[in-house]
């Protein structure tokens, strides 16, 4: 049997692409390596019925493609951790403080306001769809964010606070992130400030973010447990070879694979410029801890469960009633792997206790997304020089080879997956 389109990967990108192709009248098959759909969104159910999100979780008001899909699927959005009462905690080597850390002086506050305004103004000069055309693109791309902060006159307190926030997001140290990529990300979801939580993280799907993938998968044909080893692209017909050796034939191929696993797939019939652009992209390696407690005990101390930390954990936030999420950023991933396996969760929980006091968890889940063979990452990471090196092929297609996935948007995220997935479907349908 020959399909109109074979989509590689059943994450949010592949599934939203396949659904639109199917609704457009195409005969589509999604091939997926794992024995489950969803990719970087996954959830567990507690004995009391609560869902625990183990991957992607929150979205913002600016994530219009994702919000539109959620409403089409009949799912509902509710405020995320931003609605939780209480104070944020900063946990550094020397102190745990509710609200801004004691070392952040009034001079730092003034400096923060000044550099934030400069950052927002500079972001307005970058076209998120074409950052390469910026007159100063090369220099901005080679400049790490922390170097720009110092150039812009930020105090060391501000540089440290931005770094703590960035490691909280687990995107990789600002010493190693391209300023152009950060400006592009900011320009894609315009905001009054730098990474405003409401615009990027203020909402979540009440039924569970992994339910979005399950709903999508219910309407499309998915072959799970079928890793792809090779694809051959030709206008006269394409072949997808599974790791089992089985060959599938199709008129077009959509790759919805993360950039790490994509490097392991042999691709023939696509220009070397496109392949080297795709293979140049990288991901930040992160792990996620999700801990379920009987109740939101952090409220007892007047804290909202949100923290930015300088431990092995980079951040915590309440994902739902009594369930706490935490990220381990790339810089501390190796430290986590170095902890003897049976001590890992207890050492991370000790960091939680330091911030919120003792509490007995019902369940704890630790997922090593950075070294998971089918993800090899977390979100896209743009090191200095990477935006220019990946270049304008980023997120574009070479029919009958189409590309989507959160890595093909400015900065990852579930928004990137849905946005690029639906765009790839539109493009493939337009070309028949
Ligand atoms: C811990 C964590 C927390 C996150 N938090 C958030 C958040 O709060 N908000 C947000 O917006 N985003 C978040 N993200 C990012 C977001 O989840 C992802 O960007 C998005 O889900 C990626 O979707 P995708 O379809 O592009 O890729 P994926 O979900 O990675 O899907 C790719 C699919 O391809 C499959 N695959 C890989 N190799 C092969 C192969 N050779 N053959 C066949 N199939 C293959 C994989 O198994 C996978 O199912 C988070 C991610 C992680 C890991």
Query: What pLDDT, in 10s, does the model give residues 298-352?
Result: 999 999 999 999 999 999 999 999 999 999 999 999 999 999 999 999 999 999 9
Domain that holds residue 158: 104-193
Using a 6 Å cutoff on CB, does residue 210 contact ligand 1? no
Atom in ligand 1 nearest the alpha carbon of residue 228: 42
252 plus 394 within the same structural domain? yes
Range with the lowest mean pLDDT among 41-45, 83-87, 262-266? 83-87
Question: Which residue's CA is minimally distant from atom 7 of ligand 1?
Answer: 56
* Closest atom of ligand 1 relative to the 287 alpha carbon: 1
The CATH number linked to 135 is: 1.10.405.10
Q: Based on the structure, what is the number of domains in the chain? A: 3
Is 387 found in the same domain as 323? no
216 lines ligand 1 (CB under 6 A): no
Q: 372 CA distance to ligand 1 centroid (A)?
A: 11
Ligand 1 in contact with 58 (CB < 6 A)?
Answer: yes
pLDDT of the residue at 196:
86
**Pair 180, 254 in one domain:** no
175 & 242 share domain: no
State if residue 285 touches ligand 1 by the CB under 6 angstroms criterion: no
Please check whether residues 386 and 278 belong to one and the same domain: yes
Asked whether 414 lines ligand 1 (CB < 6 A), one says: yes
CATH number at residue 416: 3.50.50.60
Say if 376 falls within a structural domain. no
Looking at the structure, tell me whether residues 354 and 411 fall in a common domain.
no
| 60 Cβ inside 6 Å of ligand 1 | no
Residue 25 lies in a domain: yes
On whether residue 297 sits in a domain, the answer given is yes
Residue 291 in any domain: the answer is: yes
The answer as to whether 354 is a domain residue is: yes
Ligand 1: does its nearest atom lie under 6 Å from the Cβ of 265? Answer: yes
367-424 pLDDT, tens digit per residue, is 999 999 999 999 999 999 999 999 999 999 999 999 999 999 998 899 999 999 999 9
Three-state SS letters, the chain:
CEEEEEEECCEHHHHHHHHHHHHCCCCEEEECCCCCCECCCCEEECCCCCEEECCCCEECCCCHHHHHHHHHCCCCEEECHHHCCCEEEEECCCCEEECCCCCCCHHHHHHHHHHHHHHHHHHCCCCCCCHHHCCCHHHHHHCEHHHHHHHCCCCHHHHHHHHHHHHHHCCCCHHHCEHHHHHHHHHHCCCCCCCCHHHHHCEEECCCHHHHHHHHHCCCCEECCCCEEEEECCCCCEEEEECCCCEEEEEEEEECCCHHHHHCCEEECCCHHHHHHHHHCEEEECEEEEEECCCCHHHHHCEEEEEEECCCCCEEEEEECCEEEEEECHHHHHHHHHCCHHHHHHHHHHHHHHHHCCCCCCEEEEECHHHCCCCCCEEEECCCCHHHHHCCCCCCCECCEEECCHHHCCCCHHHHHHHHHHHHHHHHHHCC
Q: Are residues 275 and 258 in the same domain?
A: yes
Ligand 1 near 256 CB (within 6 A): yes
**Residue 238 falls within a domain, yes or no?**
yes
pLDDT tens digits along 95-147: 999 998 989 999 999 999 999 999 999 999 999 999 999 999 999 999 999 99
The pLDDT of residue 342 is: 97
**95 lies in a domain?**
no
Q: How many whole angstroms from 234 Cα to the centroid of ligand 1?
A: 28
Residue nearest to atom 49 of ligand 1 (CA): 39
Centroid of ligand 1 to alpha carbon of 38 (angstroms): 7
Q: Which of 324, 347, 371 is the last residue of a domain?
A: 371
Shared-domain flag, residues 244 and 389: yes
Q: With bands split at pLDDT 50, 70 and 90, how would you rate the model's confidence at 93?
A: confident
Whether residues 11 and 21 fall in one domain: yes
Distance of CA 323 from the midpoint of ligand 1 (Å): 22
* Ligand 1 contact, 42 CB (< 6 A): no
In a shared domain, residues 271 and 389: yes
For residue 93, is it within any domain? Answer: no
How far does the centroid of ligand 1 lie from the alpha carbon of residue 34, in Å? 12
Cβ–ligand 1 distance for 422 under 6 Å, the answer no
Say yes or no: CB of residue 9 within 6 Å of ligand 1. Answer: yes
Computed over every residue of the chain, the mean pLDDT equals 96
Distance from the CA of 307 to the center of ligand 1, in angstroms?
A: 24
pLDDT of amino acid 432: 83
Question: Do 111 and 186 fall into the same domain?
Answer: yes
């Amino acid at each position: 049997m020959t399909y109109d389109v074979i989509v590689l990967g059943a994450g949010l990108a592949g599934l939203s692409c396949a659904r639109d192709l199917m609704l457009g009248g195409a005969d589509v098959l999604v091939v997926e390596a794992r024995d489950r759909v969803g990719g970087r969104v996954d959830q567990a159910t507690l004995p009391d019925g609560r869902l625990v999100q183990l991957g992607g979780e929150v979205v913002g008001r600016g994530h219009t493609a994702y919000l539109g899909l959620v409403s089409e699927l009949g799912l509902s959005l509710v405020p995320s951790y931003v609605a939780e009462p209480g104070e944020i905690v900063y946990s550094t080597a020397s102190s745990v403080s509710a609200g801004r850390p004691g070392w952040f002086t009034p001079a730092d506050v003034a400096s923060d306001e000044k550099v934030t305004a400069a950052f927002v103004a500079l972001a307005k000069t970058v076209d998120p769809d074409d950052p390469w055309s910026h007159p100063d693109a090369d220099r901005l791309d080679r400049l790490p964010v922390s170097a720009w902060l110092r150039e812009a006159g930020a105090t060391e307190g501000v540089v440290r606070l931005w770094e703590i926030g960035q490691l909280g997001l687990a995107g990789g140290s600002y010493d190693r992130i391209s300023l152009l990529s950060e400006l592009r990300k900011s320009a894609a979801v315009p905001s009054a400030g730098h990474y405003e939580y409401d615009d990027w993280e203020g909402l979540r799907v009440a039924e569970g973010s992994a339910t979005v993938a399950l709903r999508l998968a219910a309407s499309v044909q998915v072959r799970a447990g079928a890793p792809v080893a090779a694809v051959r692209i030709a206008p006269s017909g394409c072949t997808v070879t599974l790791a089992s050796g089985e060959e599938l034939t199709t008129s077009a191929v959509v790759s919805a694979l993360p950039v790490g696993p994509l490097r392991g797939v042999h691709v023939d019939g696509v220009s070397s410029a496109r392949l080297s652009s795709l293979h140049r992209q990288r991901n930040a390696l992160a792990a996620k801890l999700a801990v379920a407690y009987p109740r939101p005990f952090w409220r007892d101390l007047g804290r909202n469960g949100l923290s930015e930390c300088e431990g092995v954990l980079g951040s915590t936030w309440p994902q739902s009633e009594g369930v706490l999420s935490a990220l381990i950023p790339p810089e501390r991933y190796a430290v986590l792997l170095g902890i003897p396996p049976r001590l890992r969760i207890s050492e991370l929980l000790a960091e939680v206790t330091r911030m919120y006091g003792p509490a007995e968890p019902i369940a704890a889940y630790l997922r090593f997304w950075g070294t998971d063979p089918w993800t090899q990452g977390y979100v896209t990471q743009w090191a200095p020089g990477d935006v220019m090196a990946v270049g304008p092929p980023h997120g574009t297609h070479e029919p009958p080879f189409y590309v989507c996935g959160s890595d093909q948007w400015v900065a990852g995220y579930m928004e990137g997956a849905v946005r690029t997935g639906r765009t790839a479907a539109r493009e493939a349908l337009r070309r028949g």
